[in-house]
Amino acid sequence: MGEVARDPGEQSARVEGYSWYALGVLVLVCLLNFVDRQLLTILAADIKRDLAIDDGQFGFLYGTAFGVFYALFGIPLGKLADRYARTRLLSIGLALWSGMTALSGLSRSFVQLGAARIGVGVGEATAGPCAYSLLADYFPPRRRATAIAIYSAGIYLGGGVSLYLGTSIASAWNHAFPVGARPLGLAGWQAAFLAVGLPGLLLAAWVRSLREPLRGRYEGAVHADMPGKDALRAFVADLGTIVPPFTLVAAARRGGSALVANLVVLAIISACAAAATVTLGDPLQWIALGTGIYAIASWASALRAADPAAYAVIWKSAPIVGLNIGYGLLSAVSYASAAFGPLFAMQYHAISPTAVALVVGGSAAAGGALGVIAGGALGDRVGANGANSRRILVVIFASALSLVPNVISLLTPSPTVFLLSVFPMWFLTSAALGGSSGAMVNLVPPGLRATATAAFFLGATILGLALGPYSAGRVSAEFGSLRLGLGAMLLLFIPAFVALAVAWRSCRRLER
């Protein structure tokens, strides 16, 4: 385990310098996280061709296969991060998702690539809860949103870098090794996954060396970590509350009524998944999504029985629930754009993959990185003295303004106007993340931050990642128009603003 700080006074005297160093390492983790996650997008044309899949199946690979298991394991891993050394847990998760990214390069079928994406999702589920919790103890409340926003800049930097790396590596490989002479028969897109995944194993060792800060040090309520064996036992028990079919055993242990309720929920979700499959096809999408929703319902029921205080914070707090739903719906739009934006640029504007990587990727990376920092910093400025309602206003206004470049990017016939719209679109979209995450970590008590972060990512994952790319891809495949698929996602702004308005009003009441 990394060295644990033991003297709060001594640590507070030197925390500032070490905090920025640790933040720098965590930004690299976040960057690599999204390089591994987004690499699929710039390689979409080659992957679709070689694996013989359509836009809907590609949306499943990008979103659902990754997202459902990211959400499913995010809760127990988030709770583990509240009990166990976060630097150690993060290094293990980083090694896992990097290894699975490399294995993606060995995939020869839709099913194999889907299985590898599931592994990436499980590993990456450690990143957000561990990083948010660590940063909340590396930085005082007045600087947390800024620190988390800087960390989150890695999302957009990683997304942009992934486009450049994917294009460069795949093109160089295909140029050096024509069909019939490729080592191990690997295509350029497969070589790109291998080249990007393996360096993460080295970064995992670096993360392992970070010092573990005292939990709750700035709140004056220090929480000690559990011994390793006790934390592991609790983690296994948490898996039983969320991972089917062990959820049934856990429900039975809580009593007959809990088991009956669990079975009723399972029956309803199964019926809905079956109906969706009969109506729309794509059984893997609905089986995976149904599994994720059932697992989350099981976890919520178990949490209500085992930890009513945590349940109240995560599931009954109107500001938290409204924020999670609102940002989750907004993220469906941004994930769909991230998944299909490069392909849209190539199909509708005949922009070359290299230009997409440099211009679209660069603009999105710069806009996203600057926007999330600006959103977090603005949230800290207007939300001083606990005014979290103002942080939520930052989310609402930034998201509303992002509609303008979003619509322009979809409707313009001009490649130049399209390219110019990318920066402001991602700047404003990402500013919403900076405001949302800053509000969330300041609305929950220290001992629940990692678990609440995992719940925050549930909305962004189930509502955003598991449904956004698939829905856009399915509409595109159904009507033969990627523009229509992406445009349909903009309708989600309406319920998103309703949920955020509820969160804002609830915060206002609490602040009076």
Residue 341's domain spans which residues?
A: 9-511
pTM of the model: 0.76
For residue 506, is it within any domain? yes
The structure tokens listed for 466 are: 């598991």
For residue 4, is it within any domain? no
Q: Are 359 and 348 in contact (CB under 8 A)?
A: no
For residue 479, is it within any domain? yes
Q: Are 433 and 34 in contact (CB under 8 A)?
A: no
Q: Write the DSSP assignment of 399-449 as a string of letters.
A: HHHHHHHHHHHHH---HHHHHHHHHHHHHHHHHHHHHHHHHHHHHS-GGGH
Q: CATH number for the domain including 82?
A: 1.20.1250.20
- 149/170 Cα distance (integer angstroms): 32
The tens digit of pLDDT for each residue in 459-508 reads 788 888 888 999 999 999 899 999 999 999 999 999 999 999 999 998 88
For residue 2, is it within any domain? no
- Report the range out of 87-101, 310-324, 386-400 with the highest average pLDDT: 87-101
Q: Are 39 and 193 in contact (CB under 8 A)?
A: yes
Helices (H), 318-360: 318-349, 353-355
Q: Which residues contact 118 (CB under 8 A, 6 or more apart)?
A: 65, 66, 69
- 379/374 Cα distance (integer angstroms): 8
For residue 226, is it within any domain? yes
Q: Is pLDDT above 70 for 380?
A: yes
Tell me 72's DSSP state.
H
Q: Are 50 and 275 in contact (CB under 8 A)?
A: no
Name the pLDDT band for 414 (thresholds 50, 70, 90): very high
Q: Are 100 and 197 in contact (CB under 8 A)?
A: yes
Q: Are 343 and 38 in contact (CB under 8 A)?
A: no
The structure tokens listed for 188 are: 């350029």
Count of the separate structural domains present in the chain: 1
The tens digit of pLDDT for each residue in 208-229 reads 999 988 887 776 666 666 667 7
For residue 1, is it within any domain? no
Greatest Cα-to-Cα distance within the chain, rounded to the nearest angstrom:
71
Q: Is pLDDT above 90 for 260?
A: yes
Place of tokens 């999408």: 285
The tens digit of pLDDT for each residue in 419-475 reads 999 999 999 988 887 778 778 877 888 777 767 877 787 778 888 888 899 999 999
Residue 44 is predicted with a pLDDT of 86
Q: Is pLDDT above 70 for 145?
A: yes
What is the helix (H) or strand (E) element at residue 358, kind and residue range?
none
Q: Are 459 and 403 in contact (CB under 8 A)?
A: no
Q: Left if phi > 0, otherwise alpha if psi is -120 to 50, otherwise beta: which for 74?
A: alpha
For residue 3, is it within any domain? no
Sign of CA dihedral 422, 425, 427, 433: negative
Name the pLDDT band for 4 (thresholds 50, 70, 90): very low
Q: What is the mean pLDDT of the chain?
A: 86
State the CB neighbour count (10 A cutoff) for residue 236. 12
- Give 189's Cβ-side CA count (13 Å radius): 19
For residue 145, is it within any domain? yes
User: Worst-scoring range by mean pLDDT, 121-130, 237-246, 345-354?
Assistant: 237-246
Q: Is pLDDT above 90 for 92?
A: yes
Pick 234 or 262 by higher pLDDT. Answer: 262
Q: Are 358 and 171 in contact (CB under 8 A)?
A: no
